[in-house]
Chain A
Amino acid sequence: MLTRRRWRRDRSSPLVYLGALVVTIAFSFPLYWMFLTSVKHRDEVFADPPLFFTARPTLDPYRRLVESTNFLTYLSNSIVVAFGATLLAVSVSTLAAYSLTRMRFPGSEKVARTLLFAYTLAPIVIVVPLYGLFRDVGLTNSRLGLVLAYASFGVPFSMWLLRSFFQGIPVSYEEAAMVDGATRAQAVRRVVVPLAAPGVIATSMFTLILAWNDFIFAKILIADDGLKTLPVGLADLFNSNIIDWPMIMAAAVLTALPVLVSYLFLQRYLVAGWGAGGVVG
């Protein structure tokens, strides 16, 4: 700590770098271990002491995963459900956010509050009655049911996030376009949409992650193995008789990859959303 006293703007103490090193290891080693296990040779996986590299990399666990399990079915279900839910949630909440920042109607304040309140509810509270309701209308054991559940659960947060992005776009821009003869629809399309794009991307990311990562809704609403999404499918693989760790880790790698890649590419949008979204997560 004493070194900190002489801390200058452009030079950092070794303590800072030590801390940085610890943080880096703590957050990247688990990912490294996951990947390493998934390409390790069978004999290396159960070595004692553990091997921190592999001399005989193999893709065999991935082959086993694809050939001997329903992984590809789970994957396609996850893709369909996550994209469906995102499309639905983001389009309806974009309309709502535009309305709530640009238009006034009796009770608009109440609507915004109700939506925001819904956003603080925990899935476990909702899923108990939702199962019964979906069962009555035939939405259990259906991907449409999952899409509706994720979209509805995503809407309050999406709406809240987009609302703050829309608030950042001065209304005067649209007014200027309309003074120049544009209709409202044109003004929205040419002025608001391009400016709101980062917000829409961030919101889509959040909804996609929510739907891709969810376990509880899929676990409760889906019974057919052919309709399960990745999280539930993976949990089943793990709970089945003998645990094939390299194969489980291969499944984990493939499940994490889409979110990791999009996170790396869209990081700055995500961080912007994080800042705008408040403290719920």
Chain B
Amino acid sequence: MLTTNRTTTGRAPGSLAGPGGPAARSRRRVPQSVWGFLLVLPSLALVTGVVLYPLAYLLWLSVHSKLPFGSRLNFTGLENFQEILSAPEFWRSVWLSVVYAVGSVGLQTVLGIAVALLLHQRFVGRGAIRMISMIPYVLPTIVVTLVWRWLLDVNYGPAEYAARLVGLTDRAVGWMTPGKIMLTLILVSTWTFFPFVMISILARLQTINPSLWEAGMVDGAGAWRRFWHITLPQLRSVLLTLILLRIMFMFTKFDVVFLFAGTGALGENVETLPVLTYIRTFGEGDLGGGAVMALFMFALLGTVSLIYLRSLWREERT
């Protein structure tokens, strides 16, 4: 999945600054290592200021009193942790996040494999379809959620009409009702995020040696058996990484959930951890509690990404 070209990986071009090189011509040169650091500095400053320092501040907030921003905060030790970890609404939101993440990643994976296999075939119009199927990924989330709410509208939406037409039901399906909203949210999220899974799988498929399938055909294996015994084992490592990372990202996804169903009467049914964190922190002004939940997600994200990055680095170094 990482098509990194390794022509120069990690190799410092010593000759560029070496004594025999053109660099030697000018005197009082700033050493290359200083230059190297200076060039990285602006990026490092931005990331430190806006991403890393806030993390430290988050840690600080989590052990201080539960008040809105702007108040004087008192040290309260682990009180916030105790309160949050024993709150049923916290565990309920964790459960909803798990349902949402596992459900949508499962669907994304199945659809991703299916469409990637389709686009791996040669047929007229393949390029156009590949282009169309990646559009959801670039669409702003607000556009996706507004369009789907309109498509699924109980009175005027074409989705209800189609369901009636097919004879699925003679009454309204009611996509936006408390009982179905989680399922609907999962379907819409799958529509939005599956292109990424699809394109990653397609990239891997294209590196599989076609002679493997040809050998399978010669042996008389049908399409299904070729998929099961040849294609799938080749996709295994890519799928494992994808599923792990996607679950982590869906677990901490805020905007789709919040914009599609997070406000109003339906909100309670999709109150995943990111949504609850938002409500706690900015709605109820409970900084300490919000910080604890944010930390919980950070711990989860951090662990998974460290495992992933570690393997990535090892792979890159070899």
Which residues of A pack against B, CB within 8 Å?
1-2, 4-5, 7, 9-10, 12, 16-17, 19-20, 23-24, 26-31, 33-34, 37, 45-50, 52, 88-89, 92-93, 95-96, 98-108, 111, 113-118, 120-126, 128-133, 135, 148-149, 151-153, 155-156, 159, 164, 166-171, 174-175, 178-179, 181-184, 209, 212-216, 220, 230-231, 234-235, 238-239, 245, 248-249, 252, 255-256, 259-260, 263-264, 267, 270-271, 274-276, 278-281
Contacts and interface: CB of A to CB of B under 8 A. Distances in A.
Interface in B1-58: 1-9, 11-13, 15-16, 21-23, 32-37, 39-40, 42-44, 46-47, 49-55, 57-58
Given A115-B44, A278-B2, A12 B143 contact: no
B13 A105 contact: no
Given A48-B156, A49-B161, A132 B287 contact: yes
B-side binding surface: helix, strand, loop or mixed? helix
6 contacts: A98-B39, A213-B142, A248-B150, A274-B196, A274-B199, A276-B4
A102 B278 contact: no
Contacts of A183: 22
B294 A249 contact: no
Contacts of B281: 128, 131
B40 A99 contact: yes
A118 B161 CA distance: 45
Contacts of B69: 131-132, 135
A1 B223 contact: yes
Indicate the member of B46, B151, B263, B304 with the most A CB atoms within 10 Å. Answer: B46
Contact of B222 (A5, A45, A267): A5
Contact of B146 (A96, A113, A151, A238): A238
Contacts of B255: 214-216
Contact of B140 (A19, A169, A230): A230
Indicate the member of A4, A31, A105, A263 with the most B CB atoms within 10 Å. Answer: A105
B132 A33 contact: no
A160 to B, nearest CB: 10
A69 B36 CA distance: 49
B122 A10 contact: yes
Given A4-B223, A220-B282, A256-B139, A96 B40 contact: yes
A103 B142 contact: no
Given A1-B223, A20-B129, A231-B140, A111 B40 contact: yes
A218 B10 CA distance: 38
Contact of A129 (B32, B37, B58): B58
A252 B196 contact: no
B106 interface: no
User: B interface, how many residues as a size bin?
Assistant: 35 or more
Given A124-B294, A231-B142, A260-B135, A45 B282 contact: no
Indicate the member of A37, A135, A280 with the most B CB atoms within 10 Å. Answer: A280
Given A114-B47, A209-B138, A281-B193, 6 more contacts: A103-B33, A117-B306, A120-B309, A121-B301, A126-B54, A153-B51
Given A215-B141, A230-B140, A259-B139, A126 B40 contact: no
Given A117-B305, A117-B306, A231-B140, A126 B8 contact: no
Given A5-B222, A174-B16, A152 B241 contact: no
Contacts of A255: 140, 142-143
B70 A135 contact: yes
B291 A129 contact: yes
Interface in B228-266: 241-242, 245-246, 249, 252-255, 258-259, 263
B222 A151 contact: no
A214 B19 CA distance: 49
B52 A95 contact: no
B133 interface: yes
Contact of A105 (B3, B36, B242): B36
Indicate the member of A118, A149, A183, A209 with the most B CB atoms within 10 Å. Answer: A118
Nearest to B131: A267
A129 B44 CA distance: 19
Contacts of B277: 124, 128
A187 B32 CA distance: 16
B301 A5 contact: no
B178 interface: no
A118 B188 CA distance: 28
A77 to B, nearest CB: 14
A92 B46 contact: yes
Question: Which 5 residue pairs of A and B lie closest in terms of their CB atoms, listed nearest first?
Answer: A103-B36, A152-B50, A122-B252, A99-B39, A120-B305
Contacts of A131: 69, 281-282
A216 B208 CA distance: 40
Nearest to B312: A278
Interface string B190-208: 0101001001100100000
